[in-house]
Structures are given as C-alpha cells and as structure tokens.
Structure 1
Amino acid sequence: MYVPAHFSESNPEVLKEFIKTYPFGLLVTNGKSGLDANHIPFEVLEAEGLGKLTAHVARANPVWQDVQNGDEVLVVFKAADSYISPTWYPSKQEHHKQVPTWNYMVTHVHGRISIHDDERYVRGVVARLTRTHEASMQKPWKMSDGPADFIDGLLKAIVGIEIDITSMVGKIKLSQNKDVRDVRNVGEVLTARGSDILGAATLRAADEKEKSQS
C-alpha cells in the first residue's frame, strides 16, 4: 500500500485499537487455487511480537484447505471512506487550485496463517468473539444459553484461523496535506452529510494540525 508520510500511522497500539473498533476484515490469500478474498470478523490478541489475529470460517468455505500453515496472508480493515469535493476547501474559492479526492481510514495487517481444526480452539475463538460483541447488550448472549448439543453441532461446522502478525501499516487519509481551515471544513461538511466517523476523525486531524502549528 502506498502511504505518503502525512497519511501514515505506524504505532502498533493505535493500529490494534483500530482493528478492535473495526474488526470486520478482508482476508486475502494466495493458495493452491490462486488469489481469494473472504470477509471475516477478527479478534486481535496480545502475543509475542506484534500479536495475533483469530477468526473462524465455515467448514464449507474452501479457504482453510486452500492455504497451508505458514502461508503469508493480508488482512485489510476499513473504517470509513468518502468522496471529497474541491468545493469543500475554502482555499478553492481564492486560487481554484484544488481537485477532487477520496479520503479513507484503513489498516493492513500482514502475517502467517495457521489452521486450527479442533473443537477446543474453535470454542475459544467463538467465546471471545461473542463476549466482545455482546458486552454492550442489555442482556448479553453467551454460548451456554443454547442447548449443548446444538452449540456442539455448530462448532463442528466451523474451522479456526490464527494469523501471527508480521507487520502492520495504517493509512489515515483525512486531507492532512491541506491548510487547517480546509481540513476543518471538510470535517464539518462530512459530519453534516451524515459521514459521522470520517467527519469526526477529520475534525480531530484539523485540531492536531492546528496544535502542531501553534
């Protein structure tokens, strides 16, 4: 991924928080059948080095048989994106030297995959994922809420995936290469248009840029 310096985010802890906030990743593999992409919710776990990603796929999904343990893979996590009109930059009205662009926030994770086709591992993956996403519910669902034989049957229908992270890179493109007033106005327009995630991030970028220049 091409990442100009003003859009780069390399802090591992910041990138892990990004993944926790936007955990639905795109797993890209290049196995025996060639390139493939699967959309999967992930958990990021602390471990030796940069940590691990864990997930599960349906047993019927060929991806777990198409790759071999140790194969290199890529997982892409995206927060939000939007077209940016040059008319949103106040400076455009003065010199007209602005053009359209597209802003977005993404994190790319490279790692080595391993497959775990055993009930204990899969149960742990599902339990952690469930706890994470049920935590905000008024009455959180847990695996023990379902009949044991029903849950056991579903667990047999999925396979665990683990990825040892070898590198991470984030690209947070929020018009940071523009004047503070331009960045701020883009954030305000995005927010007014309902792009709350990207709008709020852009307004924070404007504040940070203004602070760095003071």
Structure 2
Amino acid sequence: MYHVQNFHESDPQTLRDLIAEHPLSTLITLDTEGLNANLIPLIWFDDGSEHGALRGHVARANPLWQHFSKDIDTLAVFQGPTAYISPSWYATKAETHKVVPTYNYVTVQAYGTLTVHDDAAWVWAQINALTNSQEARFTNPWQVSDAPEDYVAQNMRVIVGIELKINRLTGKWKVSQNQPAGNQRTVHSHLQAEGDMAMAACVHARFKDET
C-alpha cells in the first residue's frame, strides 16, 4: 500500500479496532490461476505473536483453502468509512479557489501466512467467536446454540477454518488531516449535514488546533 506520512497509521489498537468494527475482509490469495479475491469475515485473535492472527472460515466448496500458494503472503484488506469530499466544502475555496475533489477513506491491510484448520473443534470455536462478536450489540443476542444441534453440525461439515498469522499490519487514515484546521472543520460540518457520521467522526478525531 502506498503511504504518505500524514496518513500512515501504525497504532496496533487503532488497527485492531477497525478490524473489529469492519470484519468483512477482502482476502487476496494467489493460486495457479492467478490472483483470487474473496469476501471473508475475519476476527482478530491474540495468539501471543507481535501482530496476532485473523481467523475465519470458508465454504468447503470454495477452492481457496486447497489451492492458495503457500510460498507468498496472503493479504486481508479491511475497508472502513469512505466519503467523497467536494472542493466546495473547503473554507479556503473562497480565498484562493485552489482546491480539488478527493476521497477520504480508512483501511487496514494485514499480510501473513495462511493455514487451514479442517477440525470441528477449531471451527466450532471460530464460528462462536465470530457470532458473539457481531451479536453483542443486540439486546437479545442470538447464539449458535440457539439453533438445533444437528442443523449446526450439518452446516459445520460444509465449512473449513482458515487462519492468517499476521507478519505485517498497516493502516491508512486519509481523513482530511492534511488540510488546514478551518478546512477540517468545514469538511466535518458538511459530512454531518450529509448524514455521514462515520466519516465525520474520523475527521473530527484528527482535528488540528486552530492556532
């Protein structure tokens, strides 16, 4: 990923929080047919290593788990909020007119070694962890055990566990922090007016002092 210093994010907790909030990754592997991209929910686990691991599962019918290259890293891309930023939103437009459109975005990329877990106990633990992480925000969270045991067993037979042992974790937060303080604030106001509270919060978190 191309990095500009202003936008580079390396704080481990910030990166893990983005993964937790937006777990549907684009998992990119290389096989004999070339590059392959799959949308796979992945959740972060502390496995005692520097960057941790990402765990998920795929359909047994998906060739990903049998044909990925073990000689190069697999890449998981997590996409956070995005927003088009109009030049008309900048306070400096009226002063200089030297403004252009851009996109704000937040993203995390995790590189690492992919391994397969064709093991019922491992998959059971993974689907419970994934379900619980997503259901936690509901008043009456659904649990895997709410479904009939034989139905769950039937569904588990058609999935396979995967794990990405992360060796490099990096992020990019392009959220108007390269703009003067006045422009940051007018962008923030326009995003709120547009109802884009997610990106508005990202911009607000990187406000400069007015001085």
Q: TM-score range by the shorter chain?
A: over 0.9
**Which residue in the other structure is 2:165 paired with?**
164
**Which residue in the other structure is 2:183 paired with?**
182
**How far off its partner does 1:22 sit?**
1.3
**Equivalent residue letter for 1:38:** N
Alignment of 1:8-87 (within 5 A): 8-47=8-47, 48-69=49-70, 71-87=72-88
- Cα distance per residue 1:13-34 (max 9 Å; x no partner): 2111111111111101112221
**Which residue in the other structure is 1:7 paired with?**
7
**Which residue in the other structure is 2:203 paired with?**
202
| 1:127 is aligned to 2:113 | no
**Equivalent residue letter for 1:109:** A
**Which residue in the other structure is 1:148 paired with?**
149
Secondary structure of the corresponding residue to residue 60 of structure 1: coil
TM-score between the two structures when normalised by the length of structure 2: 0.95
- Cα distance per residue 1:180-206 (max 9 Å; x no partner): 010111111011112110011112212
Q: Any conservation in 1 of the 2:31–2:67 contact (CA below 8 Å)?
A: yes
The aligned length equals 210
Deviates more, 1:174-183 or 1:136-145: 136-145
**Which residue in the other structure is 2:91 paired with?**
90
TM-score between the two structures when normalised by the length of structure 1: 0.94
- Cα distance per residue 1:136-192 (max 9 Å; x no partner): 222222122122111101000101010000111111001111100101111110111
- Cα distance per residue 1:42-83 (max 9 Å; x no partner): 110112221000001111111111115564111111111111
**Equivalent residue letter for 1:105:** V
Q: Quick one: distance in 2 between partners of 1:70 and 1:189?
A: 47
**How far off its partner does 1:8 sit?**
0.8
Identity %: 38
| Uncovered stretches (5+) of structure 1, i.e. residues with no partner | none
Q: Quick one: distance in 2 between partners of 1:85 and 1:45?
A: 39
**Equivalent residue letter for 1:193:** E
| Uncovered stretches (5+) of structure 2, i.e. residues with no partner | none
Secondary structure of the corresponding residue to residue 144 of structure 1: helix
Q: Quick one: distance in 1 between partners of 2:118 and 2:32?
A: 19
Q: Quick one: distance in 1 between partners of 2:117 and 2:43?
A: 15
Q: Any conservation in 2 of the 1:174–1:205 contact (CA below 8 Å)?
A: yes
